[in-house]
């Protein structure tokens, strides 16, 4: 019986304390994602055009501490040269997020201390926009949030001196009302109730959106535009606080016009800024669709933006190479053991993509597929998966399958040409399998709707 080849991670992390991220060469370009499987696509964006070691901001919920899932994310961050910024979150009941407690901090600190972080600094954002009542258990409570920052310092730093704590980004457009508080007033009251809150964090997370209406000019200098972080810096200085590194962890235009190159030159050129992670790489069909960068001018603007190669201080993580198979072994293995699929009258060898990581990688960066071969994407339950032709180097046919029958065919989906945004393709109904084959396969074998699909060896 053949044994699987395993890739082992030998983890040995030295704890010497967080460092100043502005003291090393730093690629400030990043992006906000919602799902760990998007990290590979994010890396293609933030490390493009001369860049290396860009940033990704991603939330982790208190009810989503899946150890295997997040170990894969952090390990992939190392391989892709991505610096993760982890935003803590609880979970919502209706449209109100449960207010976090010190017990939540203990659980998060224990969980995240055990992860294979790729760089020495372990960036943690302590929740989100607490100057809105629906982000903080239905209340606006600057005293409670300031106290939580003090608890966070004690809890996280006792686990590892490498944790680099960031205050939550505030909504700079929120008014003083029964359900929200002006951001600067929120800072004032935090300081009134807990004067040491600023000492508990290593940096400040900010949300510099182009308001009003997420659509103002990149040249705007008002406290509501993309330079709003300057108002926060100046106000914190008035409160007696010394400057700290700034992380713009949310920003972005609705429908994403190509304003980013101007914004980085005109608004986000302050040396205190460590990272800018626009919201959002990929929103699908959800509530944030209008912010989705994919297939917009904003994506092209960011990918073509000239970047630098960052040089963060790395953790001591050694990834051992997998065993090398004897010459000719893999060809022999594929000939006799590679899964086969029958679609209508056609039979082909297939690679199986049945995990989030495999589905995310897909056929990206492959130069071609051998004749009569394909990749079969397998889902645990029927859904409408979105396929993005990012990093594809050849055209594809898509065969959509539900309950072992072909339900939809899409021919000759083109790979992106230089300067083009990648195509996104979505089935018209829920499917549980998707077969990607070289363009022309459907017509070559006369595949049609209703054809039976069967797996074999």
Over residues 59-80, the pLDDT tens digits come to: 999 999 999 999 999 999 999 9
pLDDT in tens, 103-120: 999 999 999 999 999 999
Give, in words, the CATH class of 329-456: mainly beta
Smallest CA-to-CA distance from 301 within 265, 275, 271 is with 265
Does a cis peptide bond (omega within 30 degrees of 0) precede residue 212? Answer: yes
CATH number of 9-317: 3.20.20.80
**Average pLDDT rounded to a whole number, residues 24-42:** 96
Residue 6, Cβ density class (10 Å: 0-12 exposed, 13-18 middle, ≥19 buried):
exposed
The answer on pLDDT for 310 being more than 80 is: yes
pLDDT at 142: 98
Average pLDDT over residues 395-409: 96
The per-residue pLDDT for 370 is 85
DSSP 262: H
CB under 8 Å to 129, separation ≥6 — which residues? Answer: 135, 168, 169, 170, 171, 174, 207
List the chain domain ranges: 9-317, 329-456
- Separation between Cα atoms, residue 278 and residue 251, nearest integer Å: 5
Distance CA 95, CA 332 (A): 55
pLDDT higher than threshold 50 for residue 321: no
The torsion defined by the Cα of 405, 357, 258 and 50, in degrees rounded to 10, comes to -140
Of 9-13, 202-206, 388-392, where does the model show the most confidence?
202-206
Integer Cα distance of 399 and 387 in angstroms: 12
Task: State the pLDDT at residue 11.
Answer: 33
pLDDT at position 12 over 80: no
Mean pLDDT, range 137-149, rounded to an integer: 97
Q: What is the mean pLDDT of the chain?
A: 90
- In whole angstroms, what is the distance from residue 226 CA to residue 208 CA? 5
Beta carbons of 278 and 31 less than 8 angstroms apart: yes
- Domain 9-317 identical in fold to domain 329-456: no
Measured from the Cβ of residue 328, the count of other Cβ atoms closer than 10 Å reads 8
Is the whole model's pTM more than 0.85, yes or no? Answer: no
Span 359-376, average pLDDT: 87
- Distance, CA of 42 to CA of 55 (rounded, Å): 9
Segment 236-276, tens digit of pLDDT: 999 999 999 999 999 999 988 989 999 999 999 999 999 99
* 396-402 vs 273-276, strand pairing mode: unpaired
Structure confidence at residue 326 (pLDDT): 66
């Amino acid at each position: 019986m053949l044994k699987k080849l395993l890739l082992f991670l030998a983890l040995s992390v030295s704890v010497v304390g967080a460092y100043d991220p502005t003291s090393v060469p730093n690629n400030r370009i990043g992006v906000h994602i919602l799902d760990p499987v998007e990290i590979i696509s994010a890396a293609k964006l933030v490390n493009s055009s001369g860049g290396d070691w860009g940033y990704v901001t991603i939330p982790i919920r208190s009810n989503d501490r899946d150890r295997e899932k997040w170990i894969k994310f952090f390990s992939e961050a190392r391989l892709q040269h991505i610096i993760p910024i982890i935003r803590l979150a609880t979970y919502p009941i209706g449209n109100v997020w449960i207010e976090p407690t010190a017990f939540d901090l203990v659980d998060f600190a224990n969980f995240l201390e055990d992860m294979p972080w790729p760089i020495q600094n372990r960036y943690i954002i302590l929740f989100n926009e607490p100057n809105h009542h629906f982000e903080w258990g239905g209340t606006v409570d600057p005293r409670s949030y300031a106290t939580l920052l003090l608890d966070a310092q004690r809890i996280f730093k006792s686990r590892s001196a490498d944790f680099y704590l960031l205050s939550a980004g505030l909504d700079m457009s929120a008014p003083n009302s029964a359900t929200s508080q002006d951001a600067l007033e929120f800072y004032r009251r935090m300081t009134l109730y807990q004067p040491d809150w600023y000492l508990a964090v290593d940096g400040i997370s900010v949300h510099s959106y182009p308001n009003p209406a997420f659509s103002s000019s990149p040249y705007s200098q008002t406290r509501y535009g993309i330079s709003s972080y300057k108002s926060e810096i100046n106000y914190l200085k008035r409160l007696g606080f010394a400057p700290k590194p700034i992380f713009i962890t949310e920003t972005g235009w609705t429908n994403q016009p190509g304003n980013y190159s101007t914004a980085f030159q005109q608004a986000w050129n302050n040396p205190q800024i460590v990272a800018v992670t626009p919201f959002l790489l990929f929103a699908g069909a959800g509530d944030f669709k209008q912010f989705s960068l994919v297939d917009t001018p904003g994506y092209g603007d960011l990918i073509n933006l000239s970047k630098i190669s960052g040089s963060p201080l790395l953790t001591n993580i050694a990834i051992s190479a997998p065993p090398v198979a004897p010459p000719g072994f893999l060809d022999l293995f594929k000939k006799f053991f590679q899964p086969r699929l029958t679609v209508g009258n056609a039979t082909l060898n297939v690679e199986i993509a049945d995990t989030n990581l495999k589905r995310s990688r897909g056929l990206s960066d492959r130069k071609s597929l051998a004749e009569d071969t394909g990749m079969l994407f397998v889902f645990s339950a029927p859904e409408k998966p979105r396929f993005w032709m990012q990093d594809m180097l050849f055209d594809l046919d898509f065969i959509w399958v539900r309950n072992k029958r072909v339900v939809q065919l899409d021919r000759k989906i083109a790979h992106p040409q230089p300067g083009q945004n990648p195509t996104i393709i979505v089935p018209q109904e829920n499917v549980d399998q998707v077969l990607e084959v070289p363009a022309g396969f459907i017509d070559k074998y006369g595949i049609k709707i209703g054809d039976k699909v069967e797996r074999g060896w």
